Amino acid sequence: MRLLIRQKVFSWRDRFYILDEQGQNRYYAESEVFTWGKKLHVFDLDGREVGYIEQKLFTWMPQYQICRNGSHVATICKEFTFFRPRYRVEGADWRVEGSFWAHEYAMLAGNRTVATVAKEWFTWGDCYTLDVEDGWDEVLALCVVLTIDCVAAQQAAAASST
């Protein structure tokens, strides 16, 4: 399954539109405004929440919890590394590796590829292609991509304010 994730530009909150291979809307995501830590809701086209991402505060490295139907399903943890950022998805036993500066990375379960992500360059706002292999949870993979985008945006904002 291929999904295209487009970030809406000029919005008070983070908004993403997620389209399928045919260019039809499939999901959308919105962040909450004026909260402690990042909180992002993922909805299907009927307005039902299919995923919820919440930043855990007061942690050494960025951590985000993913919930579905009110239940915790995974925690995304950025690992401490010197040269290449790396993430692990606790609860799904996935790891995320690749070039985060180039926005090209893969989600792996053992030696099997769960999904790959690539940034579309020369677009208005951030735009990513998410290819989820058959049999894997596309909503969880989508939540991982949105979380990594949140971490990258927060780090870019912190770097530019110094």
pLDDT tens for each residue of 95-117:
999 887 667 999 999 999 999 99
**Mean pLDDT, rounded, for 42-47:** 96
Mean pLDDT computed over every residue of the chain: 88
| Position 122 pLDDT exceeds 60 | yes
CA–CA gap between residue 130 and residue 141 (Å, rounded): 8
| Position 150 pLDDT exceeds 70 | yes
Percent of the chain whose predicted confidence (pLDDT) is above 70: 91
Per-position DSSP letters for 90-109, written without gaps between them: ETTTEEEEEETTTTEEEEEE
| Position 11 pLDDT exceeds 70 | no
The H or E element containing residue 157 is: helix 138-160
**Mean pLDDT, rounded, for 8-35:** 85
Q: Are 128 and 5 in contact (CB under 8 A)?
A: yes
| Position 35 pLDDT exceeds 90 | no
| Position 51 pLDDT exceeds 90 | yes
CA–CA gap between residue 49 and residue 70 (Å, rounded): 10
- The residue with tokens 């962040």 is 31
Higher pLDDT, 93 or 9: 93
